[in-house]
Each structure stands twice: as C-alpha cells, then as structure tokens.
Amino acid sequence: MKKIIIILFFITLILVGINEKEDILIPSNAIRFRIIANSNSKEDQELKKTIKNDVEKELFKLLQDVDDINTARDIINNNINNIDNIVKKYNVSYDINYGNNYFPIKEYKGIKYAAGNYESLVIKLGKGVGDNWWCVLFPPLCMLDESENIDNRQYQLYTKEIINKFINK
C-alpha cells in the first residue's frame, strides 16, 4: 500500500509540474528576422541558408552589444545598404523590407510565436514561395539559438531571461 501511495504521489507531482508550464510570450515590440527562399528546391534552400549565414554574421556584429530596441532599430535602418550588398553578391533577385511584415504562427523549442504583423527585417529571394528561416533579432534570441547547443527547456529558460533583461526593464 505504501508503494502505491508513493507512486501516486510522484505521478501527481509530475502531472502538476507539466500543467504548470509557464507560457513564454515574445513581446510585441520585438524585432524579427526572416529569409524566404525562392522555392523548396535543394539549390534554393541551400542558397537561402548561405545568404542567411552571411547576413546573420553582419547583424550579430552590428547588434551584439545593443541593449535598447531604439538603438537596434537605428542600426538596422542605417545598415540596410550593407545587408543589400551582402545579398547582391549572390546574383539572385530579392527584396529587402524592414518594417511591419506578416509572420505565420510558429512553435520552436516549446515556445509559441503568435501569427501577426511584426516589426521585422525580411529578405525575400526570387518568388519567395519556399520554406523560410526566421528568428527573433531583438531581443537577441537568434544569437542564443546559434551560439548554444541547448535542449528545449534550457532554451525556454534562457529565452525568458533574455526577454526579461531587454524588454521588461
């Protein structure tokens, strides 16, 4: 009987822990980053990844010490030509838009990202009908994901910490 009570106690603890999962919401004043491939062909997806890597390196360099969203906005706006020059070298048709852009609902590592229009930097390659890559540029969640090999729970904890640090000052 004691064994059954102990087992039921631990099952209850586990179920309560699962049900008390705290939702992490990306703030509406975050800046997102998205690159949409021309198509889903292997070549177009690889080109998207290559361009993403080059643009991301530049953005990381520019934004690595930024802790204020207005400064991040100014830096992005002042460096659109640099980003344009990076994409231009790949000899592909493209469009770069920094402003309000639509994002579909996403879930990544246990965090839900609501659909809607968000302040964002969007690069559309060619027809822009292929799969896309995206992240949250500010607060710097892109950098977290790229720099750490972490599991979902660690990602959620780090994400909450970063959001609290940059947005909830």
List per-residue pLDDT tens for the chain, 169 residues long: 555 554 544 455 455 444 444 566 667 778 999 999 999 999 999 999 999 999 999 999 999 888 889 999 999 999 999 999 999 999 999 999 999 999 888 877 777 788 889 999 999 999 999 999 988 888 877 765 554 566 777 767 767 777 777 665 5
Query: How many domains does the chain contain in total?
Result: 1
Q: Give the residue numbers spanning the domain of 82.
A: 31-166
As a whole number of Å, the end-to-end CA separation of the chain is: 52
Residue 9, domain member (yes or no) = no
pTM of the model: 0.77
90/77 Cα distance (integer angstroms): 22
Q: Are the C-beta atoms of residues 163 and 27 closer than 8 Å to each other?
A: yes
User: Does residue 19 lie within any of the structural domains?
Assistant: no
